[in-house]
Structure formats: structure tokens, C-alpha cells
Amino acid sequence: MGIIPVPLHISSQGIILLLFLLIITLLAALVLVWRRGDKRARALFESWKKEEYSRLLGWISMEADKRAAIQADAICREWQRNEEQKIRKDAVRRSHSVIRGKVTEHLIPWFPEFSYHPSDARFLGSPVDFIVFNGLSEGCLEEIVIVEVKTGLGSLSPRERSVARIIKEGRVRFEMIRKE
């Protein structure tokens, strides 16, 4: 048994209508596919844009941090160099002052400002600079004087102030220790 072909008699207007409907259907399908593709493409583009933005933002942030660290390091090194020079100059100045003070302490008995005979002065250095036995070199001891030498704007240290206070209060005595 075979298939018997049935002749279809379609007019040319029917064929045109059929082709028109087929074209409309294909165009509608094409529009749907295009819209879906467009939505998918937009979604992929938005996803890529966000990822790229995040990556770029991370890179910019990392580069900014690197540059900031380099600049901060350079500023710190410059500040350190300047401060080191200031500290060194200050240390030299202080060292000169200390040396001048030490030399002055030792030589003060021979300066005109020292009103006692140099032979009567005994250098201690700490907690006071000198004990002067005024008149001892001439055989006539008149007084014992505690002398602290200061140069420039120097002031008494707490220990030196306590020695001065004890002397002013009269809490000084002579003691003899005999060792046999």
C-alpha cells in the first residue's frame, strides 16, 4: 500500500498569504531570539563590567597604596635626615657646653671671679664642685665654703639644691674616724 497523493489546489493568493504568514512567524521568532540574546548579552556585559570595575578599582587602590607607601617612606627618610642633623648639631652644642663647663669647673680657682686663694680650694666635682678652706694656705682658717660652679644659664640640680638646703639649715658637722 502506498500513499496516494492528493492534489491540493491553492491559489496564488493563498500561497502568498501562506508565505506572508511564514515570514511573519519567522520574523517574530527572530525578534524573540534577538531579544533573548540581547538580554543575555546585556547580562554578560553587566557582569563583565562589574568584574572589570572591581578589578580595576582593586588595581588602582593597590597602586595608590604603593605610591603612598613610597611617598611616606621618602618623607620619613627626609624627616629622619633633617632630625638627625638637628640632633647631631644639638649634641655637639651640648657637648661643647658640657666640656666648657667641666674645664671651667677645674680652672675656676685661677679666674679673677674666684675670690679665694686657689690653694685653699679642693675639687670634688660631685655633688658639689669645690670645698674651699678659706685662709688655710695662710695658716688662718676663717671659714669653710661649699662652691658650685655654673656656666651659662645652668641651674642647680635637685641633689645640689638638697646640699645647699642642708647647709643653710646648719645640719653640718665635723666627724673624725680613727682606724687602728
Output the CA–CA distances (angstroms, integers) from residue 21 to 17, 31, 142, in the order listed: 6, 15, 141
Q: What pLDDT was estimated at residue 50?
A: 92
pTM score, whole prediction:
0.50
Q: Give Cα 66 to chain centroid, integer Å.
A: 18
Look over the chain and give the mean of its residue pLDDT values, rounded to a whole number: 89
Termini Cα distance of the chain: 156
What span, in angstroms and rounded, lies between the C-alpha atoms of 12 and 16?
6
Q: Which amino acid is at 100?
A: R
Q: Positive or negative, the Cα torsion across 9, 12, 13, 17?
A: positive
Q: What pLDDT was estimated at residue 100?
A: 81
pLDDT of 28 over the 70 cut: yes
The pLDDT of 120-137, averaged and rounded, is 92
Pairing, β 130-134 against β 121-123: antiparallel
Q: Tens digit of pLDDT for each residue in 47-102?
A: 999 999 999 999 999 999 999 999 999 999 999 999 999 999 989 888 887 888 78
Query: Which band of pLDDT confidence, cut at 50, 70 and 90, is reported for residue 170?
Result: very high
Q: What pLDDT was estimated at residue 38?
A: 84
pLDDT of 142 over the 90 cut: yes
Query: Which band of pLDDT confidence, cut at 50, 70 and 90, is reported for residue 15?
Result: confident
